[in-house]
Chains A and B, each alone.
Chain A
């Protein structure tokens, strides 16, 4: 038996949670305390460590966004309107015998 409300509700929660990860880690990794951890005198690849770190985080965040944009959940054919206000789940109907 198809149960669109329950499944789309779950999917929505999943989707919001996943979509939140990329900007969240972006903000965290680019915060001054973390950046300053790398602001020392080392020169990996011949560039200052903080520069390498900054561009590394940038690339990671973009990669995350690419993955997200390709994920099935984020493709919406037509604007969905039911997904976000699915009814409070009513009692499940009995499984048909």
Chain B
């Protein structure tokens, strides 16, 4: 048995450990070395602040009473998180871009920075969360009483404490801890890395504790899960659902989905404390997994407890009592610490979130209204005011929680209290969804909807929760106000045969949504609302830097700096002004400030005191020039249009630009081709006209044959014939070239003996050589060598080059030298001559069309200048190279390099043989 002293001191020690952890994490984050602290893991663990002591202890109680209904509490959040892409992602994106500090700030900012809405949401949150905090206090005190048994010998000093004193002590302790860590400074983004680290640590502790007791029950004292079910059946415990799943299941699932979005502590952790949008991607599956592990053992523990514990045991405390009855005190203590963790983490985060809301939306606006700005007074340092009001709010929240606990201490189960809270904050959800997706939703609509839902909730669910100890309430619930039956809280308009929770959710959500819709349609938005609506609804359609400038005017920098300093403190205000290049010293009191800077300042201020307060503060500071309504409407419309068109335009202009660039390139290419074609045609026409001229001329001469001798006639006709042959050859060459230029080779490459082809080509050229008295010398030769080629084409190349070498050679003793050899895997032929060679200026373009290096007097050189071009193309298509090089003789030397055909198949050789 554990003594109360020991248990309470353990709890105090645990809080001290948390304090240390939070302190170290804060210090680490401050030094800019957040590391693991800003990881998706810590983010996910901190979200599990959703699982409070209600979950820790109450889930087993719910399972014992209502079967699987406990799982619905987790199913709602699971569905919200796996659908993160649609809702949570948008929430976080907006919160980051608008410097949102709380859920009240979120709605207020969306609906035209309305203070009224912020106050309403804050009040609803306070009223809804108070029972929830009371629930945690109750869980802690009950668990302390359960786990420890006073020895009764007077050695236990703390044993004399009754439940209420204990709860008060816990509340005070929690208030001190939260104040110390939640409100050390007014942070730019309301992020508290130390607190988040402590919460994440507590998340691990409570998970381990619950899993430990689960493993203990399932595998320690029973023989596995099926054994527990079997025993339960033996003991007469019903293991199947009492009632079919129905409206209550749906209602609980709906409420838990609302809660994980709208509970102030969930909004604080999931949205405000989020440091990186991408962490959500991990939390989307990791948080549901966490909840799954938390609830795996719930049903077995409940059933085991029901089967083995004496009748009348409190099922809410089974997780503690099961280890205790078997004498496992250490496990019981660990479980107690787990439950304590889940309660304290909820209290800490909820009270921080609520204190931010209370101070930003209630205290600061009141202070701003009460005291005119611009007077030097130590009392009105807003930053200090904020801290003080937050500390008081935290204490106030815990006090309220304690009072509720005190009032309802005789109430029975934990779970109903939690669901009452859930149903209260669920009233925020319709306005929240409208804020995210319905541009037309107005501030008045949101205000009216939330109010209507809240009133119905208070009437049908909150007030009846007092019925157990207040006779007035009990009477009201039984008979309706003044005996009006149709207004009975749990049977509105006679809807009597319904679960009270479902009844309340149905009527409150109906009232809420229908009021929101009708009032929104019936009223219109003001300019600021329209601007904010488009900023929220279209958050993904806009560049992150876009912010409309709503406040315009001629505030002097000294006034603005005064405002900024009051809220942000001197250091941060100075950093802000310096980074924007705005002077802030007294030296430049009348320096004008851009509207951009005012907008930026407003966002920064909003990060500390909420958007509504920041807006009020700045409109007060920026003297005179409040923008007219019409101008604001215009800005709103322009903003809307700019958002819609700017991206479209940007994309279009990019596309047009790239299209224009491509067209330009294509055009340049076409022009180049066009010019080449013109040149080609011009050359061709020139080359064709020349033989045509002689043919026509001689033909005309021959048309009057009388003047001619026979000898002349024969000679002229011979010339005509020669020129016709030449013309035909030119046409053939042109066609040949055209075919080669248009892609595929018109022949099949087969292994041929290149040496044999070379010999034949030399033989063909001998006749021409003899005529010109040129000697063709064969030097060192490679012998037989197979290459992949077409005999005719290869021969054409050899003949062309040898013929060129012959016909362009005007030396005294003209010689053409032919050698061939192997080089690596190539077959190389070099044909050189001792002629004049190719002038250097032609070296680069000798293989181009119509280039003739030496259009000299030799009348036989009648080529079109296409020969080398054609040869070059042919060799190209044989995967070889034709190049001009330096040979042994003084004249030109052409080198042909062809890859040797590796599989010069025996068949090919055989065929040759």
Q: Do A and B come from one complex?
A: yes
Which B residues are in CB contact (< 8 Å) with A15? 85
Closest residue of chain B to A66 (Cβ to Cβ) is B285
Q: Which of B364-405 contact A (CB under 8 A)?
A: none
Contact B655 A30, beta carbon cutoff 8 Å: no
Alpha-carbon distance between A97 and B91 when the two chains are bound, in angstroms: 47
Alpha-carbon distance between A53 and B814 when the two chains are bound, in angstroms: 102
Set B78, B82, B240: member contacting A50, Cβ < 8 A: B240
Contact A22 B292, beta carbon cutoff 8 Å: no
**0/1 interface trace, chain A 77-94, chain B, CB 8 Å (1 if under):** 001111111111010011
Contact A85 B541, beta carbon cutoff 8 Å: yes
Which of B246-254, B475-483, B584-592, B704-712 is the contact stretch?
B246-254
Which B residues are in CB contact (< 8 Å) with A79? 93, 277, 544
Alpha-carbon distance between A27 and B296 when the two chains are bound, in angstroms: 20
Contacts known (A5-B655, A76-B278); A96 close to B78, Cβ less than 8 A: no
Contact B292 A59, beta carbon cutoff 8 Å: yes
Q: Give A8 Cβ to nearest chain B Cβ, in Å.
A: 10
Q: Give A15 Cβ to nearest chain B Cβ, in Å.
A: 8
Q: Give B758 Cβ to nearest chain A Cβ, in Å.
A: 42
Q: Give A12 Cβ to nearest chain B Cβ, in Å.
A: 10
Is B759 located at the chain interface by the 8 A CB criterion?
A: no
Contact B240 A81, beta carbon cutoff 8 Å: no
Contacts known (A1-B662, A43-B229); A35 close to B648, Cβ less than 8 A: no
Alpha-carbon distance between A4 and B289 when the two chains are bound, in angstroms: 37
Which A residues are in CB contact (< 8 Å) with B299? 47, 51
Which B residues are in CB contact (< 8 Å) with A96? 662, 665-666
Q: Give B92 Cβ to nearest chain A Cβ, in Å.
A: 10
Q: Which of B82, B86, B543 has the most CB of A within 10 A?
A: B82
Q: Give B223 Cβ to nearest chain A Cβ, in Å.
A: 10
**0/1 interface trace, chain B 628-660, chain A, CB 8 Å (1 if under):** 000000000000000110011101100100110
Closest residue of chain B to A3 (Cβ to Cβ) is B655
Which A residues are in CB contact (< 8 Å) with B666? 96-97
Contacts known (A5-B655, A79-B277, A81-B542); A19 close to B78, Cβ less than 8 A: no
Closest residue of chain A to B659 (Cβ to Cβ) is A93
Closest residue of chain A to B292 (Cβ to Cβ) is A58
Contact A23 B82, beta carbon cutoff 8 Å: yes
Alpha-carbon distance between A47 and B74 when the two chains are bound, in angstroms: 20
Which A residues are in CB contact (< 8 Å) with B75? 26, 30, 58
Which B residues are in CB contact (< 8 Å) with A76? 277-278
Closest residue of chain A to B282 (Cβ to Cβ) is A69
Contact A74 B288, beta carbon cutoff 8 Å: no
Q: Give B153 Cβ to nearest chain A Cβ, in Å.
A: 47
Alpha-carbon distance between A57 and B225 when the two chains are bound, in angstroms: 19
Contact A83 B540, beta carbon cutoff 8 Å: yes
Contacts known (A32-B250, A39-B244); A87 close to B647, Cβ less than 8 A: yes
Alpha-carbon distance between A20 and B658 when the two chains are bound, in angstroms: 36
Set B225, B249, B544: member contacting A35, Cβ < 8 A: B249
Contact B282 A81, beta carbon cutoff 8 Å: no
Is B68 located at the chain interface by the 8 A CB criterion?
A: yes
**0/1 interface trace, chain B 205-217, chain A, CB 8 Å (1 if under):** 0000000000000
Q: Give B599 Cβ to nearest chain A Cβ, in Å.
A: 19
Closest residue of chain A to B545 (Cβ to Cβ) is A81
Contacts known (A30-B75, A97-B666); A74 close to B281, Cβ less than 8 A: yes
Set A62, A87, A93: member contacting B78, Cβ < 8 A: A62
Contact B226 A45, beta carbon cutoff 8 Å: yes
Alpha-carbon distance between A47 and B665 when the two chains are bound, in angstroms: 73
Which B residues are in CB contact (< 8 Å) with A3? 655
Contacts known (A87-B647, A93-B655); A58 close to B78, Cβ less than 8 A: yes
Alpha-carbon distance between A80 and B85 when the two chains are bound, in angstroms: 14
Is B245 located at the chain interface by the 8 A CB criterion?
A: yes
Contacts known (A1-B662, A23-B79, A32-B250); A58 close to B647, Cβ less than 8 A: no
Which B residues are in CB contact (< 8 Å) with A64? 82
Set A54, A75, A84: member contacting B71, Cβ < 8 A: A54
Alpha-carbon distance between A7 and B215 when the two chains are bound, in angstroms: 51
Contact B285 A87, beta carbon cutoff 8 Å: no
Known contacts A23-B82, A65-B284, A85-B643; 18 additional CB pairs below 8 A are A5-B651, A19-B85, A23-B79, A26-B82, A27-B79, A30-B79, A32-B247, A32-B250, A36-B245, A46-B229, A47-B299, A48-B229, A61-B78, A62-B78, A79-B93, A81-B540, A87-B647, A90-B655
A-B contact pairs, 26 of them (CB 8 A): A1-B658, A3-B655, A19-B83, A23-B79, A31-B250, A36-B244, A36-B245, A39-B245, A41-B240, A43-B229, A46-B230, A48-B240, A55-B296, A58-B71, A62-B78, A62-B285, A69-B284, A69-B285, A75-B281, A79-B544, A85-B648, A86-B647, A86-B651, A93-B655, A93-B662, A96-B665
List of 10 A-B pairs having minimum Cβ-Cβ separation, nearest first = A46-B226, A23-B83, A87-B648, A93-B659, A65-B285, A19-B85, A32-B245, A85-B541, A65-B82, A35-B245
